[in-house]
Chain A
């Protein structure tokens, strides 16, 4: 599985309140959540994002609330992959559980710039910044987690 897209770059400690503000948590509709994704940190994000784009951020991405609405909103907005230096742990779990690909790679997260075109090979964990030509190696998932991902998410893996 691969992803390729234009980068939307964010900094440290992007919290779930700016990913999807609580005023929109009165719905579980993926489409409605996507319409407000990143609204309080980048009001133009939903107008600029295109299917397959990649989100890159620095440390502690997704900190704060446990709301699964956050990775749902990102995934439903069209983002194909999130790369960060580190993820907050509940966001990390939620992303795996709902099948939003995420990768931890500090060097890539710091060096890749907004608007770059990036491709990701999920099997090898290799991230390529096609704008600069530089490649990065992300940490592979442990086998236990790869199993959840390969079965299409947590529920499929426990009902299997």
Chain B
């Protein structure tokens, strides 16, 4: 029986010729990731159990991105603990303020992950790197500790759902709209424990930033991973960047999928997820002109903090102003993206529109800092989750959207279709 792309990567890293869905395996890891929230818990587990060495100090990344620059004394203490550990074990990819970016924007950018690699991260959005043709999945801190010690992790081999993307998306339909549409269709547990494998002729219209965004939100459908085949867009992105040796895996012709969906990208419309689940989607055509009045707009995160996201927002903001009473926070994903956006003049556009530009941080996405909502407030956000209390008060609301829709909504004051500005 044929294997899916995900199964082939797992088999290769477990030293097996073949694996089957449901099989439990131990596999070798190419990268083990943690952040300032999850690394300290992993370090406690590591130290409490008497571990004295890491498996490979070049294959561990610790990115201080969630509450940094440190939001309070407790957060500073967690970062200090991680910094001390990283110094002690000479962790090569410990990234502190000044070098860091949002982890899932930073690792692909720095070439720490690439085609064919197997990565675990103590952050649920580690599934982002599937965009590069990697098998990459989120785990917890104990798995991170075990991975740092042994260089291995246990996996239950997933079955898969195939998404065949066809056609060319319309103007203002981005990777975010594609993945919100899919989550709206299959639900927040529609791919529970499974791989989401994306394929089809429509992939050529999705640039790497779109793909990173789509794979990033696979977890919001409950998936173990999301993955894209390696093509010229991937090769061009990884050229001169990926520090490892790329290995291109392809799904077998006779691979078995639990389900298959064909999605015509040309039929999709800009899509928004209403509170309090990413599956509560509506297209902009289904939202009344004054249905959702917003107080805040966030443009950034591991989902949509990349340069093409900032360009899409700037295109909408150019020559326009935020609606009265709307606050807008723009958060470039990494230092490199920050510089690039500045050189391209995007910051002038944001600031002249009335927005602020932040240092890279996860910040408001998880209600950490840099844009917390009060009771009754509503935000349109390019982030990935709109759970109860996600961005602040338990009685606040988050509406998930693409950068173009978020920016247009900030200008109008109500959630809107960018074409209607």
Seen from chain A, the residues whose Cβ lies within 8 Å of a Cβ on chain B are 13, 15, 17-18, 21-23, 25-28, 40-41, 59-60, 63-69, 71-72, 86, 88-90, 93-94, 97-98, 142, 144-145, 148, 153-156, 158-159
B46 vs chain A, min Cβ distance (A): 8
Chain A residues near B110 (CB-CB < 8 A): none
Give the nearest-CB partner of A88 in chain B. Answer: B222
Q: Which one, B40, B188, B277, B390, contacts A28 given CB within 8 A?
A: B40
Q: Does B146 contact A (CB under 8 A)?
A: yes
Report the separation of the CA atoms of residues A118 and B277 in the bound assembly, to the nearest whole angstrom: 30
In chain B, residues 358-409, which have Cβ atoms closer than 8 Å to a Cβ of chain A? Answer: 366-368, 385, 387-390, 394
Ranked nearest first, the 10 interchain pairs of A and B with the lowest CB-CB distance are: A94-B140, A26-B74, A68-B140, A97-B142, A60-B189, A22-B366, A66-B124, A144-B24, A40-B389, A68-B141
Report the separation of the CA atoms of residues A104 and B193 in the bound assembly, to the nearest whole angstrom: 14
In chain B, residues 229-287, which have Cβ atoms closer than 8 Å to a Cβ of chain A? Answer: 277
Q: Is the CB of B192 within 8 A of A66?
A: no
In chain B, residues 113-152, which have Cβ atoms closer than 8 Å to a Cβ of chain A? Answer: 121-124, 126, 138-143, 145-146, 149-150, 152
Q: Is the CB of A22 within 8 A of B142?
A: no
Report the separation of the CA atoms of residues A17 and B393 in the bound assembly, to the nearest whole angstrom: 12
Q: Does B306 contact A (CB under 8 A)?
A: no
Report the separation of the CA atoms of residues A97 and B154 in the bound assembly, to the nearest whole angstrom: 11
Report the separation of the CA atoms of residues A145 and B74 in the bound assembly, to the nearest whole angstrom: 35
Q: Which one, B71, B75, B146, B368, contacts A155 given CB within 8 A?
A: B146
Interface contacts beyond A13-B277, A67-B38, A89-B192: sample of 14 additional A-B pairs, CB < 8 Å, sorted by A: A17-B366, A22-B366, A28-B44, A60-B188, A65-B385, A66-B121, A66-B122, A68-B140, A68-B142, A98-B140, A144-B154, A154-B142, A158-B149, A159-B49
Q: How many A-B residue pairs have CB under 8 A?
A: 137
Give the nearest-CB partner of B384 in chain A. Answer: A64
Seen from chain B, the residues whose Cβ lies within 8 Å of a Cβ on chain A are 24, 37-38, 40-41, 44-45, 49-51, 66-67, 71-72, 74-75, 78, 121-124, 126, 138-143, 145-146, 149-150, 152, 154, 188-189, 192-193, 219, 222, 224, 277, 366-368, 385, 387-390, 394
Chain A residues near B385 (CB-CB < 8 A): 15, 17, 64-65
B41 vs chain A, min Cβ distance (A): 5
Q: Which one, B24, B45, B71, B123, contacts A26 given CB within 8 A?
A: B71
Chain B residues near A144 (CB-CB < 8 A): 24, 154
Give the nearest-CB partner of A26 in chain B. Answer: B74
Report the separation of the CA atoms of residues A23 and B154 in the bound assembly, to the nearest whole angstrom: 31
Q: Contacts A18-B389, A27-B74 given: A153-B24 contact, CB under 8 Å? A: no
Give the nearest-CB partner of A87 in chain B. Answer: B192
Q: Is the CB of B146 within 8 A of A88?
A: no
Q: Contacts A94-B140, A144-B154, A158-B146 given: A17-B74 contact, CB under 8 Å? A: no
Q: Is the CB of A21 within 8 A of B389?
A: yes
Q: Contacts A25-B37, A26-B78 given: A154-B189 contact, CB under 8 Å? A: no
Q: Is the CB of B188 within 8 A of A13?
A: yes
Report the separation of the CA atoms of residues A22 and B188 in the bound assembly, to the nearest whole angstrom: 20
